Amino acid sequence: MGSFRDKTELLTKCSDDIKLLLREGYDVRIAKETAEKFFGKKKISFVAIDGTQSQDQQLDMLIFYAGAFGYTGQLEFLEKGCSCGEILDANNVTNISAAIPIHEEDASNVAGEITEGGIEVDPERLPSILMQFAEYYMAVNSLNENPDLKLVILDRTLAGEVGHLVWSVGELLNENRSILLGIDTEFGIVSPLDLELARMLHPNETLQIPTARSHFIKYAAINKLISLLENDSTSFGYDELLSKIGGKPQRLEKLVKDLTTFNELFSFLREDVHANNHVAIKASTSGYWQRVFSAAMKVGHHIFDTPHDEHPLIYENHDGNANKEKKWITSADLEFMTLIMIYALVRLAWEKNVLVIGLIKDTAAAELTKTIVPILQNAHKIKIGKLPNFNSDKQLLQISSIINGQLVKTPWRTLEFDSCFRTVAPILDSKYSKNNQARVKGAYKNVISAERMFVKSYIQLWQSQSELTVRSHVFSYDRPCYPFLDVQGELLLHHLDGNVVEEIRPMIHFDKDSEISHLVMDILCSMALEVIPEALGHNYPLFLADKKAKCILGEMKSSYLSTVAFEMANSEFDQQVLYEEQFRDFRSRVENSRRLKS
């Protein structure tokens, strides 16, 4: 308590410093104009999606349940601000769920992980991953089925989950164990190269994704070679290719090495050209995304709309040559398909001007105070004293807003900052510390994740009018970066990778807000004022989706457990001891029965 008091006292002294990170209010006019420009109309439809999960054990079975449920509505952008109309049950949107039984002996096939000590089974991991996949799968389905849908709100952290999943599925792909491998789609059969490119390569020319630096340089080169296929252009030498992707001349050796190694794994370069020390890519490479996405949707459909007499997590693959193979869909497969669904959302956001917002209730992230503030100071963009060392950004901002309630009015948000900062560590170096420039390193193994894909911000949307210290919680949101609306250029980071100093231009809105920031605040504020204690200052449509998910879970759980109980009661075996998993369960049941009789 003494330590906590010391921190709070320090907060009162640095309230002016913290205000430099906050943006109070928002501009309704900018929000309205941005909505009309971005969506192309003043009135749009939205869907809010939340999920639920459960795990039970009966006999020698594990029964998993997971699903995603939504509410829809309309938003209208008026002169006085965004207006949220009636929120409806998403009858026109396919809510999805699955109750999946697995014998204990099969649990290792789905949730097993090979370790030094053998196969470790973590069945509790499965329903959580299945729910995660269900939410993103439903979002993608909703956008594909309803072209009028322009806003998707998820109870998820898009950037955080991409950052985790990109690396966690690496072993699955390296060992060629993915359920998607070999699936025959209308665009061709999914190859190992398709899966690897779908894991990393999602280009946007305006946002300059992927950037030609570090471990992304081979993907930038492959993206350029794919674009040359469309123009029917000739091949290039490595030095010319490096120049075209904007890589540094010192990176020529790395580019040659990375592409050569990649080609040894996947054989994607044309050998007739490569023999002359030039590079050109095979024409089949260009459809990698369509093939992987189509396969993921096929498997997702199988899980949530399983054919009669088939198991949701056993997929039978037809490779186009009358060959059939049944394989378990593992938790690692679900993670990879979740990653594909997130990328599908981002691509739809870019292609169809769909606003995707991930709203996060609880987070332990601390990149704002531990990374961004020091970098801004090193870049001479801000001058802040020592901030108290709280466990997370959210905790610091939450307590600060209460202590300094007279100074900070809701709604407010912090500056928006690039999700790549979660993998960045600041370095104080006078050589690079100058106006709008600073030096950094990767927080883990000197690796910095992709920039300009997502931005993040913290928000607080409600306070009492009579007592200013009574406030809603601080939440955070993240969203994709949008071409033309999110503009880079405020900050240049220097990163020593090997013996080459790479330049990183993250997306950060410190000097000037993005137009879409005002639009996001206008939308979230319109949904945060419902007079229900647990929804106040959060998001009412997500609140309803959460209630719906919990209600349906209760009904479904009663249904599938009753089915098991019915089968047990009608079993030809009349020995109840057969149904007890352990002797202690049998003993407890008998003891409870004796107590009731006495």
**Is the distance from CB of 61 to CB of 106 less than 8 angstroms?**
no
The model's pTM: 0.93
Distance between CA atoms of 201 and 339, rounded to whole angstroms?
Answer: 12
Three-class DSSP labels, 104-151: HHHHHHHHEEEECCEEEECCCHHHHHHHHHHHHHHHHHHHHHCCCEEE
Per-residue pLDDT of the chain (598 residues; tens, 9 = 90+): 888 788 888 888 888 899 999 999 999 999 999 999 999 999 999 999 999 999 888 767 888 899 999 999 999 999 999 999 888 875 656 688 888 888 887 888 888 776 655 566 777 788 999 999 999 999 999 999 998 999 999 999 999 999 999 999 999 999 999 999 999 999 999 999 999 999 999 999 999 999 999 999 999 999 999 998 866 556 789 999 999 999 999 999 999 999 999 999 999 998 877 667 789 899 889 999 999 999 999 999 999 999 988 999 999 986 555 567 889 999 999 999 999 999 999 999 999 999 999 999 888 899 999 999 999 999 999 998 888 888 899 999 999 998 888 888 999 999 999 999 999 999 999 899 889 999 999 999 999 999 999 999 999 999 988 888 899 999 999 999 999 999 999 999 999 999 999 999 999 999 999 999 999 999 999 999 888 888 889 999 999 999 999 999 988 888 888 877 777 677 655 555 555 556 776 677 778 877 776 6
Among 155, 454, 455, 170, which Cα is nearest to 335's? 170
Which tokens go with 189?
């059969």
Which tokens go with 112?
């097993």
**Is the distance from CB of 449 to CB of 421 less than 8 angstroms?**
no
Identify whether 210 is preceded by a cis peptide bond (ω within 30 of 0). Answer: yes
Distance between CA atoms of 335 and 128, rounded to whole angstroms?
Answer: 10
Rg of the chain's alpha carbons, rounded to an integer? 26
**Is the distance from CB of 463 to CB of 472 less than 8 angstroms?**
yes
Q: What 3-state DSSP class applies to 124?
A: coil
Residue with tokens 């794919």: 226
**Is the distance from CB of 14 to CB of 384 less than 8 angstroms?**
yes
Angle 77-37-24 from CA coordinates, rounded to 5°: 60
Distance between CA atoms of 469 and 403, rounded to whole angstroms?
Answer: 7
